[in-house]
Amino acid sequence: MLPVGSAVVTLDLTLTYIRPIDPRNTPVTATGRVLNVGCRTVCVSGEVVDRRGAMTVHAGGNFSILSLRPPASA
């Protein structure tokens, strides 16, 4: 979980399209996971599967954690 007052920006995001989605294999289900939250980065993965459970898309990404808090005054 990110600290209150934080935001993220995308460092990289990769989508791998494995097979097409058409009306014959819908609905689809998307699942995302946070793999790691470090001090400065977040690593995530996700996938989309069709109604038969076959993977159609695989995703992976890394994000940089930014603090939105104003700097402490001296």
Q: E-strand spans in the chain?
A: 6-17, 29-37, 41-49, 55-67
pTM as predicted: 0.80
Tens digit of each residue's pLDDT (9 = 90 or more) over 16-52? 999 999 899 899 999 999 999 998 999 999 999 999 9
Q: Confirm whether 15 is domain-assigned.
A: yes
Q: Confirm whether 44 is domain-assigned.
A: yes
User: Which domain covers residue 14, as residue numbers?
Assistant: 7-67
Q: Residue 19 sits in a domain of what CATH number?
A: 3.10.129.10
Q: Confirm whether 2 is domain-assigned.
A: no
Q: Confirm whether 74 is domain-assigned.
A: no
Q: Confirm whether 46 is domain-assigned.
A: yes
Q: Which of 15, 12, 27 is nearest to 62 (CA)?
A: 12
Number of folded domains that form the chain: 1
Beta carbons within 8 Å of 12's beta carbon, 6+ residues apart: 61, 62
